[in-house]
Amino acid sequence: MYDFVVVGAGPAGSRFARRAAEEGYDVLALEQGSVGKPLACSGHVSTDLWEYLPDGTRKELLQNEISGARFHVGGPDSEAHPFYTDGVISNVIDRVGLDEHLAHAAREAGADLREGHTVTGVEEAADHVLVSASTPDGSAEFRARMVAGCDGPVSRVRRALSIPEPDELLHGVLGFEETEDGSEFVDVHLTAPRFFAWRIPRGEAGVEYGLAAPPGERVRELFDDFTEEYGVDTVDFCSGAIPIGPPERVTSDRGFLIGDAAAQTKPFTGGGILYGMTAADHAAERIDPADPGTLSDYESAWREDLSREIRLGTWLRRAYSLPEPIQTAGLRAVSGEIGVHMDRPTTLLSRDHLRALLRS
């Protein structure tokens, strides 16, 4: 019997599998398809990412360095409100390569990570969980002391364990244009209903265009209108759900959720790579598969670390729906040099940010 069966080998799942294996636990990780594919997430991340990856990975994954963002209330020709730093504030990376490197690190740590395994059922018993899966050879059942649901926004594990749903699921779309662009600013357009659209330069890899909005808001049509305003034709179009708002609990008797399955994401951007891996570390450090009582330790730890950031991020997101004149006036008033961390909105109240505002 395994200590943990991990369902999903995205950043959160592979990070947890690696850390749990390093703790000496017997870990099986199951990925539905091939690791990292299909792509359904932006590759714009904070520089903290490299702390979670083996040495030397940065050189292979880095595509561009970003020093700021230009906010627009309208389209590409509308007034730009820049926010910037003197240095690098974020990175653009090979998103598929990130998943592949994290999965490799999990395997190197001793986790048994299997691709082509689609989980079809999860059953909890008094002293174990039974995970059923379709495999390249047919089907199989795996018994473990606990199951970790790291299987994304529409989590099968979450439903099987009767864990509440996230507050909201947005619909996000991505497309790519191949013209090389090594500029240092991303563009954010507050034009999509209740969220935004973006343009991210990816160096030699081209440019990423994206948009997210609530389902039913003609998201693909909005995306096509957005890219038409930029005068580009995108390739490699992909889409996916973005969970916003963690449920009141992310654990059951012998199961727990991490990452997008737990809606451990930033409400103001939808990004969840760093939040998910942060929660994965808390899970690996605190959960003992032989003691279900430790699941509450995980609940407490990740919420203590991230809940304040998520609450403040929710307030920031509300500004996306303000009337355009108020948005424009607010952006004009606060644009300039910043001292904030893109994953930690509480840094809006930091001394570094206040000093940057004074310099501006």
The one-digit pLDDT tens for each residue of the chain (360 residues) are 999 999 999 999 999 999 999 999 999 999 999 998 877 788 999 999 999 998 889 999 999 999 999 999 999 999 999 988 888 999 999 999 999 999 999 999 999 999 999 999 999 999 999 999 999 999 999 999 999 999 999 999 999 999 999 999 999 999 999 999 999 999 999 999 889 999 999 999 999 999 999 988 799 999 999 999 999 999 888 889 999 999 999 999 999 999 999 999 999 999 999 999 999 999 999 999 999 999 999 999 999 999 999 999 999 899 999 999 999 998 888 888 777 777 877 766 556 544 554 455
Domain layout of the chain by residue ranges: 1-38+94-167+247-320, 44-93+168-244+322-360
How is domain 1-38+94-167+247-320 classified at the CATH fold level? FAD/NAD(P)-binding domain (3.50.50)
Calpha distance 241→169 (Å, rounded): 6
Q: What is the pTM of this model?
A: 0.94
Calpha distance 206→74 (Å, rounded): 23
pLDDT at 170: 95
Residue 325's alpha-carbon distances to 176, 196, 255, 266, 332, in angstroms, are 31, 17, 47, 26, 11
Facing residues of 174 across strands?
Answer: 210, 238
pLDDT at 360: 54
Q: Which CATH number fits domain 44-93+168-244+322-360: 3.40.50.300, 3.30.70.100, 1.10.1200.10, 3.30.9.10?
A: 3.30.9.10
Helix (H, G, I), strand (E, B), or coil: what is residue 306?
Answer: helix
Tokens of 256: 């727990």
User: Is the CB of residue 68 less than 8 Å from the CB of residue 47?
Assistant: no
Instruction: Please spell the DSSP secondary structure of 7-64, one letter per residue.
Output: E--SHHHHHHHHHHHHTT--EEEE-SSSTT-S--S--EEEGGGGGGS-TTHHHHHEEE
pLDDT at 126: 92
- CA triple 345-102-170, angle to 5 deg: 45
Calpha distance 161→253 (Å, rounded): 8
Residue 271's alpha-carbon distances to 20, 188, 274, in angstroms, are 24, 14, 8
Chain centroid to CA 106 = 19
DSSP state for residue 251 in the 8-state scheme: B
The helix (H) or strand (E) run that includes residue 198 is strand 197-201
User: Is the CB of residue 113 less than 8 Å from the CB of residue 29?
Assistant: yes
Residue 180's alpha-carbon distances to 183, 205, 207, 208, in angstroms, are 9, 6, 7, 11
Characterize 125-152 residue by residue with b for buried, 16 or more Cβ atoms within 10 angstroms of its Cβ, and e for exposed.
eeebbebebeeeeeeeebebbbbbbbbb
